Structures are given as structure tokens and as C-alpha cells.
Amino acid sequence: MKLLVTDNLISDLNKLDKLNISLEKISIKEVSNQAQPLFETDKYKFVFDEFVTLTSFNKLNIDLENNFIFQVKKSNLPKFTSLKSNIDVLHLETGKKENYFPWDLTNIIYSSRKSIDLKLLNFFTLNERDFRNFTSYFIKELVRLKMLVDHDPKEVSEILNEKNDYKYQDASKKINNLDDKKINKAIQSTHKIDNIINQYGYEVENAKRYLVSIKKLLEF
């Protein structure tokens, strides 16, 4: 699933040519009736007539792995953090600095079908603040995964004081493809890079090597 960030609703598919995505235009009212094709397809269903909020999206009750593109206002985008790595965020603006979220990177880290985008890599390694912002988010995700190996989501969410929402559904899918040793090694590597920064200072190349090695370890 993808979210298109835009200030004004787009209904003309020609305006989306630069995305290089095969699209089919549908109304928000048609979403619940859309059957997922039997075979994997690259075509996305683009909802043209309404912005979504997190509340309205949750009411649709759709599989996050389905090929939908919804339009969302920039002001509402942060509210979708609970969806995390299940979504890709698309931007049409040109000439503006691109902003990324930590889950944009983790979405790629776990996927063997995706390579780390250079812009994304540079964004999170350009300085120590942005890199630590990512590792802070990532270590919480890794700890959640490790706990879910032996405990049920309800128990873990209570311990971590989190809502048992999409991030737990997402984590449950991940632990089916990751063993405990890989999760432990990822946690150790994250603590190691943190200690290196504390002792010797921040180095961009060290941060990039860490991200590349973590992807090789966790992708499936």
C-alpha cells in the first residue's frame, strides 16, 4: 500500500506519470468491494475522490499488502506512524527537501526485493542526529521482535506500554521469517555502532556500513 502526500486532491492520472506506476482510478466507496487479484500484479488502484485520515482508513479494514494508493494531506501523515513499514510514502513536490521517516528505511531493510535508495541512505547518515533518530526507532522495533518470539502481542504491548495495533501485526509477520539469532545479532550491531559513536565520534561511512550490513542480515 502507498500514501500519496498532496495538498489538493488529484483525479487526473496524467499528473502521476512521474511516479512510473501502473494505475487504475477508483472511488473511495469502491475500496471495500475490490477483490485482490489471484496473481501478483504491478497495477495499483488509485483512490481519487477523497483524502484519508487514519480513522477513515481503519474503517476500510483492508489488507496493507494490497495494491492501493490513497491520498493524504501532509498534516495528517504523521498520524500514520502505526502503519510503519507496511506503507510507502509518495511525494509529487519538486525542488523541495524530501523528508523521510525511520520506517521508510526499515521497510527496505527487511525486503529482499528492494535496494537501499541512495537518497534515503544519505538522509539518515548525513549527520549524527538523523542517524541516532533512526537507530532509536530501530532498536525499539528489534526489542519488540525479540519479545514476540516467546510472548504474545497483548503481553508485549502491555510491557512496552504500546497500542497493540498494526506494528504488532507487522512484527508477527516478520518473526515468521527471522530467527532469534538474527534479531540478537542486529541488536548487538546496533549497540556496537552506538558505542563506537560515543567513543570515537560520528563517521558517515561507519553509519552506512552498519545499514548495509543490517539489511544483508535481516532481509527476507
182-200: pLDDT as tens digits: 999 999 999 999 999 999 9
Does the residue 57 lie in any domain? yes
The amino acid at 117 = D
Q: What is the mean pLDDT of residues 70-98?
A: 78
pLDDT at 93: 60
208 lies in the same domain as 122: yes
81-94: pLDDT as tens digits: 777 667 888 987 64
Contact predicate 142/175, CB 8 Å: no
Higher pLDDT residue, 49 or 166? 49
Domain count, the chain: 2
Q: What is the mean pLDDT of residues 55-83?
A: 87
> Considering the chain, what percentage of its residues have pLDDT values greater than 90?
65
40 lies in the same domain as 85: yes
Which pLDDT band, with edges at 50, 70 and 90, does 36 fall under? low
Does the residue 103 lie in any domain? no
Does the residue 16 lie in any domain? yes
Contact predicate 116/30, CB 8 Å: no
132 lies in the same domain as 203: yes
Helices (H) and strands (E) in the chain, counts: 8, 5
State the residue for C-alpha cell 498494526: 166
Does the residue 166 lie in any domain? yes
For the chain, give the mean pLDDT. Answer: 89
139 lies in the same domain as 53: no
Q: What is the mean pLDDT of residues 117-143?
A: 94
Residue 70 φ/ψ, nearest 5 degrees: -110, 150
Query: What is the C-alpha to C-alpha distance for residues 54 and 165, in angstroms, rounded to an integer?
Result: 12
pLDDT at 35: 60
Which pLDDT band, with edges at 50, 70 and 90, does 104 fall under? very high
67 lies in the same domain as 123: no
91 lies in the same domain as 172: no
| Four-residue CA torsion sign, 92, 98, 99, 103 | positive
Does the residue 86 lie in any domain? yes
Does the residue 107 lie in any domain? no
Does the residue 102 lie in any domain? no
pLDDT at 15: 87
Residue 81 belongs to domain spanning: 2-96
